[in-house]
Amino acid sequence: MTEYQLGYLAGGNVVAVAIACLLYMMGGRKNKIIRRLGGSFVIAAAVNVTAYILNVWSLFLLIVWPLKAGEFCLGYSNNKGKGWIKRIYITALSLTCGAFLCWVFGGGWWLLIIHALMGAGTILFAFKNPLPAPVEEVLVCLLNSTIVLFYPFIN
């Protein structure tokens, strides 16, 4: 695969995360199925298609969808000041997906550090959040899902 093809594939994954973020936001208040199954499916499909194109696809990669769907089902409202705990669970599940992908692809464990730092940003919003809810939803999805789409590039 040429350098340009790799770049186009990575760019396609950026488009996929943008679509997933949009679906995540659309399912934020009602029609939660859009977030839970739609957004998570886009992320899982992008991981699987990328791995297939790179000839590193494994049947195990089908597990990405239920992992992301489980993450997208978790609520993170700050009811009774407990939002930070909920957000830790969300980030932990996202990191679990990342660790699973490192295992499947046989490396890239250092990416979990970047993944954790991005996810930690979503936890901080439980304490101070300057953003309206729909904007925050897009950002939460972006921070917890972007790195997931780059694990297939581990070589």
Q: What's the pLDDT at 78? A: 66
Q: What's the pLDDT at 48? A: 98
CB 153 within 8 A of CB 12: no
Convert the pLDDT of each residue in 14-48 to its tens digit: 999 999 999 999 987 788 888 889 999 999 999 99
pTM here is 0.93
CB 148 within 8 A of CB 43: yes
Query: What is the rounded CA–CA span in Å between residue 124 and residue 119?
Result: 9
Could you tell me which of 64, 68, 35 has the C-alpha nearest to residue 52?
64
